Structure 1
């Protein structure tokens, strides 16, 4: 029996890694995969090199998203963790499928540990530590937190019984992608957080921190987090009850943590080593710099927030990440080379 899969965000950094692993699944020959992409050129690569059905459009076409979701047993959303209208369109499509066939389709959604943040402006370490295996810990997250409006809509759909939901919360993902899709030019090679800080450091001539840079953030290697998605996907195929869903369906992509100051110091050290800047010691971003380099004051202060969590649920289903914070810091040199 074939499994129909609809993927949003396949050309992205996270989505590309997820789909590359799915291509390597032992049952890959039985999968009928459809992706949605804005890029006609990347669609051509998917079709010609990977024999994947592509639809060239965007998540703005909610009727199309609803239709494509209704045709899939598994929907993988890795496009935009804050796009509530697109998520509602996905859920409508999955509800249509359930109503017509009785099937209970599965949604693997990409959220983020931004949902765990306290905005400490770089001055202190937040005290909240969340546990992805603890239903009450996750339920204690306020609905006003980043990504939560989307996450809660998905969990509510699971409670209604017409989907099974699995929400992955990656942390600071690092490493340049090197899987088949990245090599073919079909998906993004680079993450967001660390390259953004490197670009700002190059532009201002010094590595930067918000406030004192003391808050803590978690991190995870790109291949390790892709493996977490694979475990969840495989659990869905096997109907494994150990892979929980709904309120018990949160999975942290966390395998280390760092302070913003640790990250900024290493960026400064690498840039000095490569002759790009003269002083490795980070300096504090002015508020106008946060707007200039990160688009808004709110998003700028994100780089001085705390997010702390333990991935007990992810590990309980067999996730065994191998890369640590040391690997994250060592990855910065290659990121700088790529940007230069």
Structure 2
């Protein structure tokens, strides 16, 4: 692939930082990273990564975003899957670029699997399984679903013809980001799912419990596998579908939330035969406002299969055994803290 100018939003985040490191390993692309923290921007510049340019700003800094977009061949947006205002700023810059040059820019946007969640409240495992090739079914998702409003903004830009959009939808992301950015203290793991489960089981003295009993199923995926899916799309832009057909589900593991709680109990040395449901009092305790908004997300089913990425050659490598080892690692570190 010819050298490209890649603009990354959220470049010091869990996914964005991993993507930057993986692209830098290739050594043939120019990267511009939007960083909102002055401290992190200076730390990133201090690493003197030759093909990496650091720009200080947020996704709503219109002048900064516009300047970066005008120079970009590819935009990878890992900033915030619910940032309606920031997405409008980004797409406005893309539209301006197209009006001036008549050239479309490629936009790879990272969304989230909660866009598919149901209202199980942890009480059952759904039989509904989505597939990223079922575009007619995906088109029926209502705008009330999490992340959907931003996804619709991106899809509309593709329909209007000034971007080629690719929407990556990862499951619950886990895994330790061990790279030059994390080692410099710039990038940190934000694997919220396993960390919250661990905190709750520890708070209950090793009793495994989950919302509604944790029978609901979710896809899980390692942060490195999310990054390799993004790079797989990048490597196959000439053949990879975009727009309405440009959904790419990132998944490699399917488990119940109760399974995670049981694994935490196991590695605390207090295994139980069954996972029980949180009491109403425990839900209020563990999910005070504004975190109460997480309850229907974590308690819903979200089952899907990533067909498109695999058809392009994406091969996720982290499996359920690795996830269990990672839960064990996180549990031990939390207990020792």
TM-score (norm 2): 0.91
SS of 2:323's partner is helix
Deviation of 1:280 after TM superposition, in Å, equals 8.3
What are the Cα deviations for residues 209-253 of structure 1, in whole angstroms up to 9, with x where unaligned? 0112111111112222211011112223xxx22x11101110000
Matches within 5 A, 1:170-189: 170-189=170-189
52-61 or 107-116: bigger deviation: 52-61
Are 1:329 and 2:330 matched, yes or no?
no
**Distance in structure 2 (CA, Å) of the matches to 1:320 and 1:338:** 30
What RMSD, in angstroms, separates the aligned Cα atoms of the two structures? 2.0
Are 1:250 and 2:238 matched, yes or no?
no
Deviation of 1:119 after TM superposition, in Å, equals 2.0
**Distance in structure 2 (CA, Å) of the matches to 1:169 and 1:37:** 23
Distance 1:44 1:296, change over 3 A: closer
Q: 1:268 is matched with which residue? A: 265
CA contact (8 A) 2:208 2:258 kept: no
Q: 1:124 is matched with which residue? A: 124
Distance 1:337 1:43, change over 3 A: farther
**Distance in structure 2 (CA, Å) of the matches to 1:280 and 1:268:** 10
Distance 1:285 1:300, change over 3 A: same
Equivalent of 1:38, from 28, 36, 39? 36
Are 1:289 and 2:282 matched, yes or no?
yes
Matches within 5 A, 1:145-294: 145-205=145-205, 206-236=207-237, 240-241=238-239, 243-272=240-269, 282-294=275-287
**Ranges in structure 1 where 5+ consecutive residues have no aligned partner:** none
CA contact (8 A) 2:168 2:248 kept: yes
**Distance in structure 2 (CA, Å) of the matches to 1:80 and 1:291:** 26
**Ranges in structure 2 where 5+ consecutive residues have no aligned partner:** none
Deviation of 1:320 after TM superposition, in Å, equals 0.8
**Distance in structure 2 (CA, Å) of the matches to 1:176 and 1:204:** 25
Matches within 5 A, 1:48-63: 48-49=46-47, 50-51=49-50, 52-63=52-63
**Distance in structure 1 (CA, Å) of the matches to 2:311 and 2:144:** 29
CA contact (8 A) 2:262 2:272 kept: no
Deviation of 1:279 after TM superposition, in Å, equals 6.5
CA contact (8 A) 1:65 1:86 kept: no
Deviation of 1:291 after TM superposition, in Å, equals 4.1
CA contact (8 A) 1:178 1:189 kept: no
Deviation of 1:82 after TM superposition, in Å, equals 0.4
Q: 2:45 is matched with which residue? A: 47
SS of 2:212's partner is coil
78-87 or 284-293: bigger deviation: 284-293
TM-score (norm 1): 0.90
